[in-house]
Amino acid sequence: MGARAKAILPLAVTIGVLSFLWTELSLNFTFHWVTVEDQVFGEFGMPENFHLILPTAFITWGLFFAAGGDNAAFGKIFIASIFGSVAALVTIPLAFQTADAPDFWGISLWVGIAAFVLVAVLIAGDWYYVAGTFPCFAATFLWWIATGLDGYVEDGGGAGDELAAFQAGLGVEGVTAAEGDNAGLGAFVGLISTPWPWVWFSTWVSLVCGVILGIISGKVAAAITPSGE
């Protein structure tokens, strides 16, 4: 086995194992362990407002290595997760208070202002990693869109009987489509519709989990890599 393979394979194995563990943790947490009620439709439960978002952690995990994969990178991406997600937290309510659906100019305006501010913070020094801040900002906005644009669209995220809507869609006996008419607009026919403050909190926690996975994978891989590589 070549020197390059010996150096890379420990990291690949470590990341593979941690990816498996994170996927198991996040999906079971959201759809089984911390739910309104488990197995209310088929094999899954109805999630609470707080989710562990599976793909979101991979964003900061990758950013950790892009920033250098060391202790300094951990600090940079952790700070980026705060700045990026909080910028979205402030932007979301301002956006839908400026212009309601179906107009998007309110969202566009405040996203533009937030982007300006996030870049301008670079003036404060090199400790600020704007290349990490933007993906964290985008991840929060993405989850807001996926869970129903709560506050922007009437009866959006977190409104109505999402469970009834989902069950009606599956053809569950005794559940009519009318029962789910006011369900939220999030993914799974509104099943994970979420109020926007919880969108931020779920996203930020998941982003932090990604940074933690990054530092763990780096440390473990270094520990099991053959000496001299």
- pLDDT tens, 66-84? 999 999 999 999 999 999 9
Task: Give dist(CA 93, CA 82) in Å, integer.
Answer: 18
Task: Give dist(CA 221, CA 94) in Å, integer.
Answer: 44
Supply the pLDDT for residue 1: 59
pLDDT one-digit tens code per residue, 49-64: 899 999 999 999 999 9
Task: Give dist(CA 92, CA 143) in Å, integer.
Answer: 11
Torsion of CA 86, 91, 97, 98, to 10 degrees: 160
List the structure tokens of 174. 């005794």
Task: Give dist(CA 91, CA 99) in Å, integer.
Answer: 12
Sole residue written with tokens 């999030």:
186
Range with the lowest mean pLDDT among 4-8, 113-117, 167-171? 167-171
Supply the pLDDT for residue 104: 94
pLDDT one-digit tens code per residue, 112-159: 999 999 999 999 998 999 999 999 999 999 999 999 899 898 777 766
Please compute Rg for the chain using Cα positions: 20
pLDDT > 70 fraction of the chain, expressed in percent and rounded: 83
- Nearest 5 degrees, angle CA 143-CA 91-CA 206? 35
Q: How far is CA 37 from the centre of its chain?
A: 22
